[in-house]
Structures are given as C-alpha cells and as structure tokens.
Amino acid sequence: MSTQTAATAADTLRDFAALVKPNITLLVLITTAGGLWLAPGSVGWAALLATLAGTVLIVGAANTLNCYLERDSDRFMARTANRPLPAGRMRAGTALWFGVAMAATSIPVLTWLVNPVTGLLAALALVSYVWVYTPMKQLSPQAVVVGAIPGAMPPLMGWTAVTGRVEWPGLVLFGIMFLWQMPHFIAISVYRQREYEQAGILTMPAVYGLPAARWHALAWSAALVPCSLMLVPLGVAGWIYFAVAAALGVVFMGWAIRGFRATDPNRWARSFFLYTLAYITFIFAALLVDAGPGLL
C-alpha cells in the first residue's frame, strides 16, 4: 500500500469516527458502565461485552443518523461545519447506510445477547433521538427536553442489563442524567446562540429570552440536587457519595445563580457549561468509589 493510499484510508476512518461523535459516545459508555457497576447481582463476560458493544453501536447509529439529517444546517455552525457531510468529504448515502447498519446490529445484540428490556430501552432512545428530537430542534426550544430522554437512557440500560428490570435506582440514575442535561444544554445554547440561529435551531434564549433561560437553568439545577441524593436512601450509595453529591450540587446551583449577576452572559454560560462536565464526571466517580466492587 502506498503512502498516499494509506493516508487516504486513515482520513476515511477518521471521518467515519467523526460521525459517531467519539466524545459523546465515550460519555455514554462511561455512564452505561456506571449502571452496570451499581446494579445488584452479576453479569457474565459475554453479556457485559454485548452491553458495551451494543451501547457503542446504538449511540454511533443515533449520532450518525443525526449527522445525516442535519448535514445542511451543520454548515452554519463553527463546531459542526467541518464534519464529513457538511464539509463534503463523504456522500450522504454512505453516512445513512453506516448509521442504519449500526442500528440494525445494535438492537438485536442488546435484545438477544443481553435481555429484551435493555434492547427495548435502546430502541426507544434511538427513535426519540433521531426521529423526534432531531427534527423538533427547528420547531421548538422544548426539543431539549425530548433530547434529554435518550441522553439519560445509558445508565438505566446498564442497570437493566444486570437486573432485567426497570427499578427505582435505575430510574434515579436516569433522572440524574436527564436533569443534568437541561442546564448543560441551556448553557451551551446561550454562548452559541448566534450559531444556532444561523442553523435554524430554536433555543430557549432565542425564543424566550436570556432571563427565562437563566430561570430554567436554576430550576433544573435545583431539581437535580435532591434527585442525586436519592441514591443514598435507596441503598445504592453511602455517605461518601452523599457528601460529594451535596457539595457538587451546592456549587452547581451557585453557578446557576451567578448567571443572574453576570455582566458577560457568554462568559458565564461557557464556564457553567464546563462545570456541568466536571460535575457529571465527579458524581459518577464518587458513585463508583462508594459502591465498591461489583459487576462480575
């Protein structure tokens, strides 16, 4: 193989990898593993690997199909303009079939090699993300609420992969991820509002105004704190997690409140967005440490 051919092949692989949005896929994989770790009982290596592989495939399918559907609007945003489709490096049909192939593989893997409940949750996540959330983004700012549902599904899928049932601790893990995404999305929509408007995507700051976006960010943050602490009375986590979650939650709400006094909304929103990433990382780290050995 010539050097030029090898370089072309590497570029093609990078473009396929870009379609699955590696950063998002990694976060989903981590939260799924968290649900697996925390669930009572054990799971064999085959089911464990099938859960993780199926999760990567279902997320990759959803992200790829999202890129396919938004290939035109992505050209208007700096963070998406260089994706393979808007940049013209890949044909739309290639991306479509790549996404369909992953979707067609992932659901059977999760259904037959893990259990039907996990497969059903994955199918719901795929449908709600691709066929409801994605087109709804240009119709209503409430699309973020719909989009948070598939985004919150991974830890619940990890839980059901072990138990085969939807139970309260799994639903609380779902709730944490759901509630966390709302201020996370609001923050990014504030400092990238102009790009979203150019792409025709309706956001809360653009439709309802910045003051309303701030109040929504605070309300969702306030709901997140007690939800995160519910894992302690449910017996999933102990006092180490309680202390960490409480402290992180207070800072979370404090950061949301800072938005009302911020003289530079974009600067506040960017810093708040970065804190939301740190928050979810440390929350799950505390959970894994406090829960102790599990999974296998």
Write the pLDDT tens digit of every residue in 148-164: 999 999 999 999 999 99
Residues 66 and 95: their CA atoms lie apart, in Å, by 10
296 confidence band (pLDDT: 50, 70, 90): very low
Mean pLDDT, all residues of the chain: 94
Work out the percent of the chain whose per-residue pLDDT is above 70: 96
pLDDT in tens, 33-45: 999 999 998 899 9
Longest Cα–Cα distance in the chain = 62
| 112-138 average pLDDT score | 97
pLDDT in tens, 69-102: 999 999 999 889 999 999 999 999 999 999 999 9
Q: In angstroms, what CA-CA distances link 174 with 167, 251, 257?
A: 11, 21, 25
Q: Is the pLDDT of residue 186 over 90?
A: yes
Q: Which of 163, 37, 57, 144 shows the shortest CA–CA distance to 104?
A: 57
Residues 242 and 231: their CA atoms lie apart, in Å, by 8
What pLDDT sits at residue 102? 98
CATH hierarchy code of domain 3-291? 1.10.357.140
DSSP for residue 132:
I
b/e per residue, 201-235, with b = 16+ CB within 10 A? bbbbbbeeebeebbbbbbebbbebbebbbbbbeee
Contacts with 13 (C-beta within 8 Å, 6 or more apart), sequence order: none
Burial of 190 (0-12, 13-18, 19+ CB in 10 A): buried
| 7-16 average pLDDT score | 87
Q: What is the domain partition of the chain in residue ranges?
A: 3-291
pTM for the whole structure: 0.94
Q: Is the pLDDT of residue 3 over 90?
A: no
What pLDDT sits at residue 266? 97
Q: What three-state secondary structure class fits 71?
A: coil
**How many helical (H) and strand (E) elements, i.e. helices and strands, does the chain have?**
13, 0
At position 294, the amino acid (one-letter code) is: G
pLDDT in tens, 18-27: 999 999 999 9
111 confidence band (pLDDT: 50, 70, 90): very high
